[in-house]
């Protein structure tokens, strides 16, 4: 869509939200498109730079972690006048079926599994919606619905 003298996102950021909200839908669609493109470009640039930093510093960080006897975590070291803080977070995943079996073995032996594990119940909304009304009613008091951040996608219509 071509609009002469079209406003740019950087210029609009100086205006009050209420004023910009009254712009035509076509202008808002162009501003949204510009913001999305800037976001994609910024993400691509950040990913590229993260790759550069990983290539430069990952071997040093791995060596330092190895010296400290750890596979994950944070190490610090200097590179010239810059202190590099290299963090490799730990991501633990548990096999749910094996956990459930272990919890049952603990329970069967007379111990309380709550001393060892936390149990969380989840109900997929799609399944909840398919339940018969009497089952949904039994769970209704345990259900709270919250909303997320609203999103709006503007797509120019083609004539």
Beta strands in the chain (DSSP E): 73-79, 82-88
Whether the full predicted model's pTM is greater than 0.85, yes or no, is: no
What is the structure's pLDDT at 4? 65
Residue with structure tokens 């259900």? 143
Contacts 24+ apart (CB under 8 A), 82-86: 84/57, 84/60, 86/57, 86/58, 86/60, 86/61
Enter the tokens of residue 43.
Answer: 């993400």
Q: Rounded distance, CA 104 to CA 110, Å?
A: 10
Q: Which residues contact 152 (CB under 8 A, 6 or more apart)?
A: 32
Q: pLDDT tens digits for 42-60?
A: 999 999 999 999 999 999 9
Q: What is the mean pLDDT of residues 76-85?
A: 94
**Interval 84-100 mean pLDDT:** 93
Which tokens is 80 given? 């010239």
Does pLDDT of 127 surpass 60? yes
- pLDDT of 57 reads 96
- Computed over every residue of the chain, the mean pLDDT equals 91
Residue boundaries of the structural domains of the chain: 9-88, 96-142
Would you report the helix, strand and coil content of the chain in percent, each value rounded to 5? 55, 10, 40
> Is a pLDDT exceeding 90 seen at residue 7?
no
Whose CA is closest to 138, among 153, 123, 148?
A: 123
Contacts of 76 (CB under 8 A, 6+ apart): 83, 84, 85, 86
């Amino acid at each position: 869509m071509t609009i002469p003298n079209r406003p740019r996102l950087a210029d609009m950021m100086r205006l009050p939200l209420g004023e910009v909200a009254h712009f035509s839908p076509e202008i808002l669609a162009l501003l949204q498109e510009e913001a999305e493109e800037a976001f994609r470009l910024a993400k691509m640039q950040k990913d590229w730079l993260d790759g550069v930093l990983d290539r430069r510093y990952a071997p040093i960080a791995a060596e330092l972690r190895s010296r400290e006897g750890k596979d994950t975590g944070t190490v610090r070291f200097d590179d010239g006048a810059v202190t590099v803080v290299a963090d490799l977070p730990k991501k633990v995943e548990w096999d749910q079926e094996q956990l459930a079996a272990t919890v049952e073995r603990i329970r069967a032996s007379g111990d309380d599994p709550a001393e060892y594990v936390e149990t969380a119940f989840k109900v997929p909304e799609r399944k909840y919606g398919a339940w018969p009304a009497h089952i949904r009613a039994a769970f209704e008091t345990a259900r709270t619905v919250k909303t997320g951040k609203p999103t709006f996608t503007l797509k120019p219509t083609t004539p």
